[in-house]
Amino acid sequence: MMKPIFSLCVVLATLLPMSVFGAAVEDRIVAVVNNDVITFLDLEKRMAPIMRKIAENPKMSDKAAVIGEMRRSVLDNMVDNVLLRQEARRLAIEVTGEDIQRAVDDVLAQNHIVLDDLKEELKRRGATMEEYRDELNLQLLKGKIVAKEIRPKITVRNEEIGEYYGKHKKDYEGKEERRLRQILFAVPRGADDAGKSSIKERAERVLNRLRAGESFEKLAVQYSQDPAAQSGGDLGFVERGVMFNVVDEAAFSLAPGEVSEVIESPVGYHIIKVVEMKGKGTKPLEEVRDEIEQIVGMEKMQKRLEKWFQDLRQQSHIEVRL
């Protein structure tokens, strides 16, 4: 069995420039894909980040076997990429520099970062901006091929939507919600018992006025000490489990129109009114039809794309020399 320290040295050696060890390693062809070739150095360049991760994992056993498996997997992916580019040329599908720049801008916007942040992250991963743009080019090519060759052939039947809904009903259980109004009497931090008692008495007096028929909204504007006070204490729809337990239990035990007792929580005293309720039950099929159609369509598209690559491989001359 190879000693661990020797195995680690072999891994580290692959991460250093060839010239460090003397003569440069001779390049060779590791795969032929129709009229294009993939070279050993091309493959090792793609393998470099993986090799670094393997080298940094001292607990991994049989690294040589893992490296061999990963190298074959990476080469398969590279073959697919060559086929993708070849097919894009055949279909006269192109990705422009403007397409790639828009994709980069989208990535920056979605992640709330600037270009220098992206470059720094790529550098940390051992990649360059040029390599990243090339990867974006491949993804955009794939997207355009899917749009032209695959998506038009995808249809989702009503029966498929119904079948998916039946199998995933638990995913469409509506969450129980209450639209609430609140009057909050906040207790200052460090208040003594006398101070708390005084605040609670004020809350009880307001509750009696509510029971006498005064407007919840007006009293909320006048007395409530939370940000919703100026909107009549309207908290909007609140899901079960979001508020303090004692407030939550009271709110979800009331019917629309009912007002709670004075409720004590860690922040003060609450009076809650339930305005309306919704949820608690499975959403009807018609409400989620569009969402399910999209999910089923994406699943079918992925399967069709995999089949498309399989057919393309069968129709191509591919020779692996790894």
What gap in Å lies between CA 193 and CA 186, rounded to an integer?
14
The DSSP letter of residue 24 is P
- The Cα–Cα gap between 207 and 222 comes to 13
Q: Quick one: pLDDT at residue 16? A: 36
**Cβ neighbours, 10 Å, residue 4:** 12
CB atoms within 10 A of CB 51: 20
**What is the rounded distance in angstroms from the CA atom of residue 79 to the CA atom of residue 38?**
8
**Rounded Cα gap, residues 136 and 127, in angstroms:** 13
Q: Which residue has the tokens 């050993």?
A: 40
For helices 158-167 and 285-315, the axis angle rounded to 10 degrees is 110
Whole-number CA gyration radius for the chain: 32
- Residue 197 burial (CB count, 10 A): 11
What pLDDT score does 7 carry?
A: 30
Q: Mean pLDDT by 10-residue block, N- to C-terminus, for the chain (322 residues)?
A: 31 34 67 96 90 84 88 94 95 95 93 93 88 94 93 94 92 85 94 94 96 95 93 93 92 94 95 89 87 95 93 95 86
Closest CA to 125 of 185, 197, 203, 56: 56
Q: What is the pLDDT of residue 25?
A: 56
Does the global pTM surpass 0.75?
Answer: no
Structural domains in the chain, CATH included, are 1-90 (no CATH), 175-279 (3.10.50.40)
Q: Three-class SS string for 58-96?
A: CCCCCHHHHHHHHHHHHHHHHHHHHHHHHHHHHCCCCCC
By the 8 A CB rule, do 124 and 132 touch?
no
